[in-house]
Structure 1
Amino acid sequence: MTSAVVAVFVLILSVELAVRASKIKYHDQFPGKIPDPCYHDNGEPKRCVPDFINAASSRKVEASSTCGAEPEHYCRSSKDKNGEITRHCFVCDASNPKYSFPPEFLTDLNNPSNVTCWMSKTYSAVQYPSNVTLTLSLDKKFELTYISLQFCSARPHSMAILKSVDYGKTWTPFQYYSNDCKKMYSKSPRSQATKANEQEALCSEAYSNIDPFTGARVAYSTLEGRPSGQDFENSPVLQDWVTATDIKVEFHKLNTLGDEVKDDDGAKKSYYYSLSDFAVGGRCKCNGHASKCITGRDGRLACDCKHNTAGYDCEKCQAFHYDRPWQRASSREANECVACNCNLHARRCRFNYELYQMSGSRSGGVCLNCKHNTAGRHCHYCKEGYFKDSSRRITDKRACKACSCHPVGALGKFCNQTTGQCPCKDGVTGLTCNRCAKGYQQSTSPVAPCIKKHAGQLVKPWVTEPSANRHVVKKVDYKQSGHHDNAVDTKHTESHKPAVTEASRGRPNPREEDEETEDCGKCRVKKLTIQKFCRRDFAIQAQIISRDQEDDWIKFTASIDASFRKGVPERTTRKAESYIWVQKSDLACKCPKIRVSRRYIIVGKNRAEDKNRPGYVVDRATTVIRFKEKWQRRLRRFAKRELNGKC
C-alpha cells in the first residue's frame, strides 16, 4: 500500500468524524430522540456498525527497547548536496523530557509540524539476531482495515506484523517485510493469496530499502490482494482474518550502509529503530449488531448491543432469546435474536438445532421449567393431572385446572388435557366420572361401581365413601337418604363394608380383562436394533397430549420432540405437533399401549392405505417404547450411522 492510499484512509476517517459531528449538531436542534442507526424508521432492525477510527490513538504501546535508560549518544544520517552521507550526533536521556523518546510518542496526536518519535537503543544492542518488539493492546476485538507505521529512522531490513485474537496469549503472522524474504522468512516475495490460503501471511520486498533515511511509511492493508475482499460480508474466513485484540510489530534486522563493520563508533550509533506514528484503522467488532462501543461497568470496552444480542462483541443472544441461532447481521438481514415463546410460563429456555430444522428454520426454542402446571416445548399445554380451562387463554396463570377425577368412578387420576374429561369406568359418566350413566345403577363393587339395570329388578345402590385411609362401600336407602340412583356419593363414614385399597382402585376386574383380550393374541417383543431402524420409515420421540376417537380409530394429538430419520415422505415430515393413529382394536389389546401425558419412542413404517390420515399410523408391527434416555442415545447413534451411509 502506498502513502497515497494511506492518505486516502486518513481523509475518509476525517470525513466520517466530521459527518458524525454535523449529525449530532443537527439533531441537537430538536427535542426528539436521535434515530437509532440499528433500526429503520418503522422499528424494523437493520445492520449497523460502529464508526471507523484509529484504534491505536492514545493507547499504550509496550516497547522491548527504548533508548535513554542511561544517557547515550545516537546519530542521524542524511545526504548532502553532493550525495555524501553526513552524520549529526545527539543525546538520548529518558530523565530529560527534552531528550527522551518514549513509546507514548507512537500513539499521541500525529502533528507534522511537531513530530515526536520513539527510539530504540542503537546498533550494538538491537542488531540481528537480536530484535525489538512493539506491542499494542486494543482491549477488545476490532476488525482492522490497515496498520500504518511512520518512521523517523530508515525502514528496517526485515520486520513482521503479527496479530492476536485472545488478548496476547497466542500470535498469528499478519504480514512480513524484508529485503530477502526467502532467507529471513522462508517465503517467496511473489506469492499471492488464493481462495485456499486467504488467511496466510505474505512477504513483500517493496518497503525495505534504506532510502530515505527518515520519514518513510509502511502501510499494510488487511484485505488487499485477498480474493474474497470484495465480498467480505459473506466471507467468514476474512471476517476472522481481519479480527484482532492485539498487534505486535517485530523488527528483526536493521538496514545499514555496510559501514558498521568498520571501527567507526559514529556509524554504529546511526543505526536504530525509530517511529513517529503507529496507527491502526478499523472498527470495533460488533458483528453488525451495534453502532458504537462504550466502556462497561467493569471498565472494559464493549459493544452497545442491539437486536437482542449480548456479549462484548454482540457475539451471542440475550438470555431467553434463543428461538433461532445467533447470526452475524448482513446488509440483507439483521438476524435479530428472537425470544422463546413460553406463553408467560417460563423464564428460561434453550436452543435445539434439530427442532429448528424441523420447523423450516423458523423456531428452535425449548422452554425450561414451565410454571403454573403447564408443560411442553412452549409451555403450551397442561401437565399431567391438569386440563385447559376453556374460558382462559393459555397465557393466563390459572389456565390449567386440576382434573379432580373421582377416586372410584375414574380409571385413573389423569384427564384429557384439552377437554378435562376423566377416563371413566364402564357405566360411569360425567366430566370427573362422578355418576352412573343412563341405564346403569350403583353396585356393591368399587371395581365396577355402576352396573346395568335389569327389568323388574330393584337393586339398592352402594356408595363409596372415603375413610381415613381407604374408601369403604355403604348401602343407601332411597327413601331415607333422598339419593338418586345415578349419583356416586363420597361422604365420610365409619362403615366397615368391603374396602377399595390404593392398589386396587381404578383397575379393571381380572375376569373382565381376560374376556376382553382373549382374542388379542400375543404382541411382538419390541426390540430396538439398527436393522429395524434402517428398515423403518420414521423414528420419532413424542409426548402424547390428548386422545380422540374417529370411527374405529383412536387419534392421539402429540408433540413431536425429535425425529431421528432423514428423507421421510412428505406426509410424515417432522412437525412441532402431529397426530398418531391407532386402531381401536389394537389399543384395546394394548398392541401398542399408549396413554395420554406420557412420552414414547416410536419407530415404524408408512402404509399407502393410510394416506388420508395425517401424521403417523401405528399398528402391531410398530415399535412403541416408553421414553428413556438410553433409547434416545441409541437412536442418535443409529441416525449418525444412517448419515454416514452405514444403514
Structure 2
Amino acid sequence: MSRLADLCHFLSLLTVVSSAFNNEISSYVDAHTYGNGKPEDPCYGSDGKGRHCIPDFVNAAFNHKVTVSSTCGNPPNRYCWLTKSEGATIEDKKKCLICDSKNPKRSHGASYLTDISNSNNLTYWISEPFSNLEQDPGNVTLILPLGKKYEITYVSIQFYSPRPESMVIYKSKDFGVTWMPFQYYSSNCKATFNKPVKTEVTKFNEHEAFCSQDKSSIEPLSGARIAFASLQDRPSAYDFENSPVLKEWVTATDIKVVLYRMNTFPYELKEPYDFNYYAIADFSVGGRCKCNGHASSCIKNNEGKMVCDCKHNTAGPDCERCKEFHFDKPWRHATGKDTHQCAPCNCNLHARKCRFNMEIYKLSGSVSGGVCINCKHNTFGRNCDYCKEGFYRDNTKDITSSHCCRDCNCHPVGASGKVCNQTSGQCPCKEGVSGLNCNRCGPGFQQSRSHIAPCIQIPVSTADSGKNNNCPKRCHSEDEKITLKKYCINDYAISVEVLEKTKVNEWTKYTISVLKASKISRNRIKKGDQSLFVKHYLTKCKCPQLKLGKRYLIFGKDDVPGSGGNYGMTIDEKSLVFKYKSKYDGRLKQFSRKERKNKCKKYS
C-alpha cells in the first residue's frame, strides 16, 4: 500500500507541474490536419505561416548512462533487507543476497537506474555497503548527462532501499562544467544545509533552490519515491511562456544527485553493515528538448548528438540563433503571439553572407537590421545596392543583375580621375575635353601632345565679338513648326523650364528643370534639375534664345560636342528649340506612336 500511496502522490505532483506548461501543451497537442488528411507541421499553420511549437514530453533519462561513484559487487558482497512478514523477529525478517558485478544475474550496475523497471521486470542499482556510518555517513554521487539542453519538469527517484537522511539534486547548464542546486532534502535542513525549513516563494526568489524535510524518514523501508517538480509553488509558473527567469531555472544539460547521509535502522541488528547501502530502482527526468519554440522534435545529427529539428529559419542545437543569411531581424524565443521567425537579408543577389546590426535595426523602426558582407559584382552598401568607386549604375539592368554596375572606363589622359557620376556615368574631364569617357576634345579645342593638358584652345580673335558676321548663317528658329521628320532625326525630345543662367569660361550654363521626356536618348535624360551648356558666342547670337522662367521644347542629338569637363547636356545652332505650347503634347504622342511603328525609318 505504501508504494501505491507514493505513486498516487507522484501523479498528483505531475498534474500540478503540467498546468504550468498549459499554454505550451495546448498549442502543441491541438489536432491540426491538412485537407488531404496528412498531419500538419506543428511549426506552421495551414496558411503556411510559422507558429510556436515544442517537442514531445519525454523521460529524458531513459536508457541514458549514469555515472555513479559507488557500485556493489567488486569484490562480491552481501546485502540484506527486511521483509514484511508479520509475527516474526527482526532477524527472521532479514533476507540477504550476494551482489557480484561479474555475474549478470547478481550484478546491480548503474544501467538499471534508467532502464524499464516494474513489477514484471524489477531491476535496481546498489551501492557498495558502508561498514562504519560514524566515519563514513554514506556519500554517493549519481551524474546523468542528458546530451543536450532540456526544460526539466520533474526529477523522480524511486528507492529500493530506505531513502537517504539528506540528499541534494543539482543541475548543470554547461554539460557538467558548473553545477547549481536544484533542490535540498534533509531531516534537518538548518543543521545540514543551513537552509530554512519553510520559505515564502515570491517572484524575487522563485529561481532559487529550497529545502524539504518531509521526504527524509527511513519509512517505508522500500519503494519510497522522491519527486521534485521544478515549477511547483513558483508564482510565474502559470505564465511560464513569458517568464525568462523560470525558463532559465528549468534548463539543464545534466542532473546530479548527491546522497549525503544514510538513514540508520532503528533496530538492533547483529550485522547492521549489511543494510548500509543505497538501492535505486528508477531514476527518471521528465521534460522536453529545449528548442525555444522553434522545433517540434529532436533528432540525431551526423555526429550522433541530439539536436532540435529547427524551423522558422533558425539553427543551432537548441534553435538558439538564426541560420546563415537570415539576420535581417534579431533572434528571439517564439511565443504564442509571435513566432519571431528569422528573416533573410536583402543583398540583391550580390552577397552570400550578412550580419545583424542592432543600431541599424532600431533606426529602421525595427524593420531591417541585416548588413551584407563582401558584396560582389562591383557593388557595395548595406544591401549591395550601390556601385563602388570606378563604376556607375546601369539603369537598363535590374539591381539583381550581375552586370548592374558598369565600369566608368574614364580615359587615362582625358579624365581628371577614375570616379564617374554614379547615375550618368559621366567622367570628370580635363579642360577642353568632352565625351562620357573624356575621350575627345570639345568644340574650340584641339589635341595637344601634353598629358596634363591634352586639349588646348584654338585661338579665335573675334569668336565672342557678338557681330552678326560671326553668328551662324542659319539658326533653327524657335518659331518653326514641329514635324515628324524633325522628331525622328533627333535623339531626344524634352520639355524644360529655364531656371538660372551663368557664364562658365567660354560657355553659358543654364540650369533647367526637365518636366517631360517624350523621347529618351542613350544618355538617359531624367526628370528634375539638369545643366544645359551653350557656347557663349551662340548665346550672344540668340541661337538659341532662352529666357529665364520660360518653357521650351528641345529636340537635340547626343553627339553635340561636350562642355569641356562640365557635367550636363550641350546644344548648338543645329539643335531645335521651340517655345512650349500645350498642343505640342498631343503631337508628340502621335510622333511616339509612329516611331514605335517604324515610321521613322524613311528619315534615317
Q: Same fold (TM over 0.5)?
A: yes
1:103 aligns with 2:110: yes
Cα deviation 1:260-287 (Å, max 9, x = unaligned) = xx6x443332232111111100001111
1:6 aligns with 2:14: no
Q: Which deviates more from structure 2 when the two are superposed, residues 91-100 or residues 283-292? A: 91-100
Which residue number in structure 2 is paired with residue 593 of structure 1?
none
Cα deviation, residue 452, structure 1: 8.6
Cα deviation, residue 118, structure 1: 1.5
**8 Å contact kept, 2:350–2:375:** yes
The AA in structure 2 aligned to 1:88 is: K
1:182 aligns with 2:190: yes
Structure 2 SS opposite 1:272: coil
1:161 aligns with 2:169: yes
1:415 aligns with 2:393: no
**8 Å contact kept, 1:78–1:85:** no
Cα deviation 1:198-225 (Å, max 9, x = unaligned) = 3221101011111111111111011112
Judging changes above 3 Å, is the alpha-carbon distance between structure 1 residues 107 and 176 closer, same or farther for their aligned structure 2 residues? Answer: same
Judging changes above 3 Å, is the alpha-carbon distance between structure 1 residues 21 and 77 closer, same or farther for their aligned structure 2 residues? Answer: same
Residue 310 of structure 1, aligned match among 306, 315, 318: 315
The AA in structure 2 aligned to 1:424 is: C
CA distance in structure 1 between the partners assigned to 2:200 and 2:14 by the alignment: 27
The AA in structure 1 aligned to 2:141 is: T
Structure 1 SS opposite 2:168: strand
Judging changes above 3 Å, is the alpha-carbon distance between structure 1 residues 33 and 387 closer, same or farther for their aligned structure 2 residues? Answer: farther
**8 Å contact kept, 2:441–2:447:** no
Structure 1 SS opposite 2:228: strand
Which residue number in structure 2 is paired with residue 112 of structure 1?
119
1:204 aligns with 2:212: yes
Judging changes above 3 Å, is the alpha-carbon distance between structure 1 residues 358 and 279 closer, same or farther for their aligned structure 2 residues? Answer: same
Cα deviation 1:512-560 (Å, max 9, x = unaligned) = 99xxxxxxxxxxxxxxxxxxxxxxxxxxxxxxxxxx99699xxxxxxxx
Pick the structure with greater CA Rg.
2
Cα deviation, residue 256, structure 1: 2.1
- The runs of 5 or more residues in structure 2 that have no matched partner are 465-503, 506-526, 532-604
Cα deviation, residue 22, structure 1: 13
Structure 2 SS opposite 1:183: helix
Which residue number in structure 1 is paired with residue 94 of structure 2?
88
1:372 aligns with 2:377: yes
**8 Å contact kept, 1:192–1:225:** no
CA distance in structure 2 between the partners assigned to 1:126 and 1:118 by the alignment: 20
Residue 235 of structure 1, aligned match among 229, 237, 243: 243
Q: What's the C-alpha RMSD, in Å, of the aligned pairs? A: 3.5
Which residue number in structure 2 is paired with residue 254 of structure 1?
262
Cα deviation 1:213-253 (Å, max 9, x = unaligned) = 11111110111122222222222221111111111111111
Cα deviation, residue 419, structure 1: 2.3
How many residues are aligned here?
455
CA distance in structure 1 between the partners assigned to 2:31 and 2:143 by the alignment: 35
CA distance in structure 2 between the partners assigned to 1:162 and 1:125 by the alignment: 27
Judging changes above 3 Å, is the alpha-carbon distance between structure 1 residues 225 and 184 closer, same or farther for their aligned structure 2 residues? Answer: same
**8 Å contact kept, 1:192–1:202:** no
Structure 2 SS opposite 1:354: helix
CA distance in structure 2 between the partners assigned to 1:380 and 1:441 by the alignment: 39
CA distance in structure 1 between the partners assigned to 2:355 and 2:165 by the alignment: 55
The AA in structure 2 aligned to 1:344 is: L
Matches within 5 A, 1:375-414: 375-414=380-419
Runs of 4+ off more than 6 Å: 9-13, 20-24, 548-552
**8 Å contact kept, 2:240–2:247:** yes
**8 Å contact kept, 2:14–2:229:** no
CA distance in structure 1 between the partners assigned to 2:460 and 2:6 by the alignment: 108
TM-score normalised per structure 1: 0.64
Which residue number in structure 2 is paired with residue 352 of structure 1?
357
Matches within 5 A, 1:394-543: 394-425=399-430, 428-435=433-440, 440-442=444-446, 444=448, 446-447=452-453, 449=455, 451=457, 454=460, 456=462
Which residue number in structure 2 is paired with residue 525 of structure 1?
none
Judging changes above 3 Å, is the alpha-carbon distance between structure 1 residues 4 and 171 closer, same or farther for their aligned structure 2 residues? Answer: same
Structure 2 SS opposite 1:209: coil
TM-score normalised per structure 2: 0.68
Q: Which has the higher contact order (CA 8 A, sep 6+)?
A: 2
CA distance in structure 2 between the partners assigned to 1:305 and 1:405 by the alignment: 51
Cα deviation, residue 58, structure 1: 1.2
The AA in structure 1 aligned to 2:261 is: K
Cα deviation 1:606-636 (Å, max 9, x = unaligned) = xxxxxxxxxxxxxxxxxxxxxxxxxxxxxxx
CA distance in structure 2 between the partners assigned to 1:433 and 1:549 by the alignment: 24
Percent of paired sites with the same residue: 49
Which residue number in structure 1 is paired with residue 295 of structure 2?
290
**8 Å contact kept, 1:2–1:219:** no
- The runs of 5 or more residues in structure 1 that have no matched partner are 459-511, 514-547, 553-647
Cα deviation, residue 4, structure 1: 3.2
**8 Å contact kept, 1:144–1:244:** yes
1:67 aligns with 2:72: yes
**8 Å contact kept, 2:201–2:233:** yes
Q: Which deviates more from structure 2 when the two are superposed, residues 4-13 or residues 334-343? A: 4-13
Which residue number in structure 1 is paired with residue 160 of structure 2?
152
Which residue number in structure 2 is paired with residue 142 of structure 1?
150
The AA in structure 1 aligned to 2:106 is: Y
CA distance in structure 2 between the partners assigned to 1:366 and 1:22 by the alignment: 39
**8 Å contact kept, 1:293–1:303:** yes
